[in-house]
Amino acid sequence: MLNSIEPTRFENPIYPIPLKNNACFDPYACKMKVEGKGVVKVLPDMLTVVIGTTVENAQLTEAQNENARIMNQVVDALLDAGIPQEDIQTQTYSVFPQYDYIDGRQVLRGYSVTHSLLVTIRDPEKAGEIIDTSVQNGANEISQLMFSLEDPSRYYNEALDRALEDAHHKVLSLAAKMGVAVSPRPVSIVEERYSQASPTGVMGIRSSDAMTNIQTGQLEITATISVLYTY
Protein backbone atom coordinates (compact mmCIF):
# COMPACT_ATOMS: atom_id res chain seq x y z
CA MET A 1 0.00 0.00 0.00
CA LEU A 2 1.35 3.37 -1.06
CA ASN A 3 1.90 5.96 1.62
CA SER A 4 0.03 9.23 1.00
CA ILE A 5 2.12 12.39 0.90
CA GLU A 6 0.58 15.45 2.48
CA PRO A 7 1.16 18.66 0.46
CA THR A 8 3.67 21.06 1.94
CA ARG A 9 2.09 24.01 3.70
CA PHE A 10 3.65 27.48 3.56
CA GLU A 11 3.08 30.26 6.00
CA ASN A 12 3.17 32.88 3.23
CA PRO A 13 0.96 31.85 0.30
CA ILE A 14 2.23 34.72 -1.87
CA TYR A 15 5.95 33.90 -1.62
CA PRO A 16 6.16 30.18 -0.74
CA ILE A 17 9.93 30.19 -1.31
CA PRO A 18 11.99 32.87 0.43
CA LEU A 19 13.81 35.21 -1.96
CA LYS A 20 17.56 34.91 -1.79
CA ASN A 21 20.05 37.35 -3.30
CA ASN A 22 18.71 38.43 -6.70
CA ALA A 23 16.20 35.61 -7.19
CA CYS A 24 13.34 36.84 -9.33
CA PHE A 25 10.26 34.96 -10.51
CA ASP A 26 10.15 36.88 -13.79
CA PRO A 27 13.62 37.81 -15.03
CA TYR A 28 12.07 40.28 -17.46
CA ALA A 29 10.41 42.13 -14.59
CA CYS A 30 13.58 42.60 -12.53
CA LYS A 31 14.32 46.00 -13.96
CA MET A 32 14.99 49.39 -12.50
CA LYS A 33 14.59 52.63 -14.48
CA VAL A 34 16.22 55.87 -13.37
CA GLU A 35 16.68 59.33 -14.82
CA GLY A 36 20.08 60.99 -15.01
CA LYS A 37 20.74 64.69 -15.44
CA GLY A 38 23.99 66.40 -16.39
CA VAL A 39 24.65 70.14 -16.50
CA VAL A 40 27.66 71.95 -17.96
CA LYS A 41 28.16 75.70 -17.55
CA VAL A 42 30.23 77.50 -20.16
CA LEU A 43 30.90 81.04 -21.37
CA PRO A 44 29.18 81.86 -24.69
CA ASP A 45 31.40 82.45 -27.72
CA MET A 46 28.86 84.29 -29.89
CA LEU A 47 25.70 86.34 -29.70
CA THR A 48 23.00 87.68 -31.98
CA VAL A 49 21.41 91.10 -31.67
CA VAL A 50 18.75 92.97 -33.61
CA ILE A 51 19.88 96.41 -34.75
CA GLY A 52 17.41 98.66 -36.51
CA THR A 53 16.17 102.11 -37.40
CA THR A 54 12.68 103.59 -37.45
CA VAL A 55 12.07 106.80 -39.39
CA GLU A 56 8.87 108.84 -39.54
CA ASN A 57 8.01 111.38 -42.22
CA ALA A 58 4.91 112.98 -43.64
CA GLN A 59 5.93 111.64 -47.06
CA LEU A 60 6.37 107.90 -47.51
CA THR A 61 9.14 108.27 -50.08
CA GLU A 62 11.07 110.59 -47.78
CA ALA A 63 10.75 108.15 -44.88
CA GLN A 64 11.97 105.26 -47.04
CA ASN A 65 14.90 107.21 -48.43
CA GLU A 66 16.01 108.44 -45.01
CA ASN A 67 15.73 104.95 -43.55
CA ALA A 68 17.76 103.49 -46.43
CA ARG A 69 20.45 106.13 -45.99
CA ILE A 70 20.81 105.43 -42.27
CA MET A 71 20.79 101.65 -42.64
CA ASN A 72 23.40 101.75 -45.40
CA GLN A 73 25.54 103.79 -43.04
CA VAL A 74 24.98 101.29 -40.21
CA VAL A 75 25.87 98.32 -42.44
CA ASP A 76 29.06 100.02 -43.64
CA ALA A 77 30.02 100.69 -40.00
CA LEU A 78 29.40 97.05 -39.08
CA LEU A 79 31.55 95.86 -41.98
CA ASP A 80 34.32 98.26 -40.96
CA ALA A 81 34.08 96.89 -37.40
CA GLY A 82 34.88 93.40 -38.68
CA ILE A 83 31.41 91.88 -38.98
CA PRO A 84 31.34 89.80 -42.20
CA GLN A 85 28.55 90.37 -44.70
CA GLU A 86 27.11 86.87 -44.13
CA ASP A 87 26.55 87.72 -40.45
CA ILE A 88 24.33 90.70 -41.31
CA GLN A 89 20.80 89.71 -42.32
CA THR A 90 17.60 91.70 -42.71
CA GLN A 91 15.09 90.48 -40.15
CA THR A 92 12.17 92.87 -40.70
CA TYR A 93 11.21 95.68 -43.03
CA SER A 94 7.88 97.34 -42.36
CA VAL A 95 5.90 100.41 -43.41
CA PHE A 96 2.98 101.69 -41.34
CA PRO A 97 0.78 104.78 -41.66
CA GLN A 98 0.70 106.99 -38.58
CA TYR A 99 -2.50 108.73 -37.52
CA ASP A 100 -3.54 111.45 -35.12
CA TYR A 101 -7.03 111.70 -33.68
CA ILE A 102 -8.38 115.25 -33.91
CA ASP A 103 -11.93 116.04 -32.82
CA GLY A 104 -12.75 112.36 -32.98
CA ARG A 105 -11.48 112.02 -36.52
CA GLN A 106 -8.54 109.96 -37.76
CA VAL A 107 -6.07 112.20 -39.56
CA LEU A 108 -3.04 110.85 -41.42
CA ARG A 109 0.14 112.24 -39.88
CA GLY A 110 2.68 110.42 -42.01
CA TYR A 111 4.47 107.10 -42.33
CA SER A 112 6.78 105.01 -40.19
CA VAL A 113 9.45 102.88 -41.88
CA THR A 114 11.39 100.30 -39.86
CA HIS A 115 14.34 98.22 -41.05
CA SER A 116 15.90 95.73 -38.62
CA LEU A 117 19.04 93.62 -39.03
CA LEU A 118 19.90 90.38 -37.28
CA VAL A 119 23.62 90.68 -36.57
CA THR A 120 25.83 87.80 -35.40
CA ILE A 121 28.79 88.84 -33.24
CA ARG A 122 31.35 86.04 -32.87
CA ASP A 123 33.34 87.79 -30.15
CA PRO A 124 31.00 88.67 -27.24
CA GLU A 125 33.63 90.99 -25.76
CA LYS A 126 33.09 93.31 -28.74
CA ALA A 127 29.32 93.44 -28.33
CA GLY A 128 29.28 96.79 -26.54
CA GLU A 129 31.58 98.33 -29.13
CA ILE A 130 29.45 97.02 -32.03
CA ILE A 131 26.25 98.34 -30.47
CA ASP A 132 27.76 101.76 -29.80
CA THR A 133 29.08 101.95 -33.36
CA SER A 134 25.63 101.16 -34.71
CA VAL A 135 23.96 103.82 -32.59
CA GLN A 136 26.55 106.42 -33.53
CA ASN A 137 25.74 105.75 -37.18
CA GLY A 138 22.00 106.20 -36.81
CA ALA A 139 20.51 103.00 -35.36
CA ASN A 140 17.82 103.79 -32.80
CA GLU A 141 16.58 100.29 -31.93
CA ILE A 142 18.69 97.60 -30.22
CA SER A 143 16.95 94.47 -28.94
CA GLN A 144 16.86 90.68 -28.60
CA LEU A 145 20.39 90.01 -27.40
CA MET A 146 20.90 86.25 -27.28
CA PHE A 147 24.10 84.45 -26.34
CA SER A 148 24.96 81.02 -27.73
CA LEU A 149 27.73 78.61 -28.69
CA GLU A 150 28.97 78.10 -32.22
CA ASP A 151 29.58 74.39 -31.50
CA PRO A 152 27.66 73.18 -28.43
CA SER A 153 28.12 69.48 -29.26
CA ARG A 154 31.30 68.89 -27.25
CA TYR A 155 29.77 70.50 -24.17
CA TYR A 156 26.61 68.47 -24.67
CA ASN A 157 28.66 65.28 -24.80
CA GLU A 158 30.20 66.25 -21.47
CA ALA A 159 26.70 66.84 -20.08
CA LEU A 160 25.71 63.36 -21.31
CA ASP A 161 28.66 61.84 -19.45
CA ARG A 162 27.56 63.58 -16.27
CA ALA A 163 23.97 62.45 -16.80
CA LEU A 164 25.10 58.82 -17.06
CA GLU A 165 27.16 59.17 -13.87
CA ASP A 166 24.14 60.67 -12.13
CA ALA A 167 21.93 57.77 -13.24
CA HIS A 168 24.53 55.23 -12.11
CA HIS A 169 24.80 56.80 -8.64
CA LYS A 170 21.01 56.79 -8.31
CA VAL A 171 20.59 53.15 -9.26
CA LEU A 172 23.37 52.05 -6.89
CA SER A 173 21.70 53.95 -4.06
CA LEU A 174 18.32 52.36 -4.80
CA ALA A 175 19.83 48.90 -5.15
CA ALA A 176 21.61 49.21 -1.80
CA LYS A 177 18.35 50.08 -0.07
CA MET A 178 16.57 47.19 -1.78
CA GLY A 179 19.35 44.74 -0.97
CA VAL A 180 19.91 43.68 -4.56
CA ALA A 181 22.87 43.75 -6.94
CA VAL A 182 22.44 45.69 -10.17
CA SER A 183 24.07 44.68 -13.43
CA PRO A 184 26.73 47.29 -14.28
CA ARG A 185 25.71 47.25 -17.95
CA PRO A 186 22.44 49.11 -18.67
CA VAL A 187 19.76 47.45 -20.78
CA SER A 188 18.99 50.71 -22.56
CA ILE A 189 19.86 54.41 -22.50
CA VAL A 190 17.43 56.93 -23.98
CA GLU A 191 18.08 60.64 -24.43
CA GLU A 192 15.03 62.35 -22.99
CA ARG A 193 15.81 65.96 -23.78
CA TYR A 194 18.51 68.53 -24.47
CA SER A 195 18.35 72.15 -23.44
CA GLN A 196 20.57 75.19 -23.61
CA ALA A 197 19.58 78.02 -21.32
CA SER A 198 20.61 81.23 -23.07
CA PRO A 199 20.90 84.54 -21.24
CA THR A 200 18.81 87.07 -23.14
CA GLY A 201 18.25 90.78 -22.84
CA VAL A 202 16.49 93.77 -24.32
CA MET A 203 18.18 97.13 -24.51
CA GLY A 204 16.94 100.67 -24.88
CA ILE A 205 18.98 103.49 -26.33
CA ARG A 206 19.88 106.68 -24.51
CA SER A 207 22.51 109.30 -25.12
CA SER A 208 25.65 108.65 -23.14
CA ASP A 209 29.38 109.07 -23.51
CA ALA A 210 29.97 105.79 -21.69
CA MET A 211 30.52 102.60 -23.67
CA THR A 212 27.70 100.09 -23.51
CA ASN A 213 28.68 97.28 -21.16
CA ILE A 214 27.31 93.84 -22.04
CA GLN A 215 27.42 91.12 -19.37
CA THR A 216 27.66 87.71 -21.02
CA GLY A 217 26.97 85.47 -18.04
CA GLN A 218 27.12 81.69 -18.52
CA LEU A 219 25.19 79.23 -20.63
CA GLU A 220 23.77 76.07 -19.07
CA ILE A 221 23.77 72.99 -21.28
CA THR A 222 21.61 70.23 -19.84
CA ALA A 223 21.30 66.59 -20.90
CA THR A 224 18.67 64.28 -19.46
CA ILE A 225 18.65 60.52 -20.05
CA SER A 226 16.53 57.57 -19.00
CA VAL A 227 18.53 54.44 -18.10
CA LEU A 228 17.18 50.93 -17.61
CA TYR A 229 19.10 48.44 -15.45
CA THR A 230 18.48 44.82 -14.48
CA TYR A 231 19.00 43.18 -11.09
Per-residue pLDDT, 29: 66
CB 108 within 8 A of CB 99: yes
Per-residue pLDDT, 59: 97
* Of the candidates 74, 148, 171, the residue with the CA atom closest to the CA atom of residue 117: 74
Angle at 105 (CA atoms; ends 100, 106), nearest 5 degrees: 40
Per-residue pLDDT, 34: 96
* Of the candidates 70, 43, 79, the residue with the CA atom closest to the CA atom of residue 136: 70
User: For residue range 117-135, what is the model confidence (pLDDT) as tens digits?
Assistant: 999 999 999 999 999 999 9
* Of the candidates 35, 30, 14, the residue with the CA atom closest to the CA atom of residue 224: 35
Outline which parts of the chain fall under CATH 3.30.70.2970. Answer: 46-148
Which residue type occupies 189?
A: I
Instruction: Indicate left, alpha or beta for 21 from its phi (over 0: left) and psi (-120 to 50: alpha).
Output: left
Domain covering 46-148, topology: Alpha-Beta Plaits (3.30.70)
CATH architecture of 25-44+150-231: 2-Layer Sandwich (3.30)
Per-residue pLDDT, 149: 93
pTM higher than 0.75: no
Q: How many other C-beta atoms lie within 10 A of the C-beta of residue 57?
A: 18
Helices within 59-151 (DSSP H only):
60-80, 127-136
- Sign for the CA dihedral angle at 66, 70, 73, 78 comes to negative
Residues with Cβ within 8 Å of 168's Cβ and at least 6 positions away in sequence, in order, are 36, 227
Outline which parts of the chain fall under CATH 3.30.110.170. Answer: 25-44+150-231
Profile the chain (231 residues) by mean pLDDT over runs of 10 residues.
Answer: 43 37 59 96 95 98 98 98 98 97 93 98 94 97 94 94 97 94 92 72 45 87 96 90
Name the strand (E) or helix (H) holding 197.
strand 188-197
User: For residue range 7-54, what is the model confidence (pLDDT) as tens digits?
Assistant: 444 343 333 333 344 555 565 568 999 999 999 999 999 999 999 999
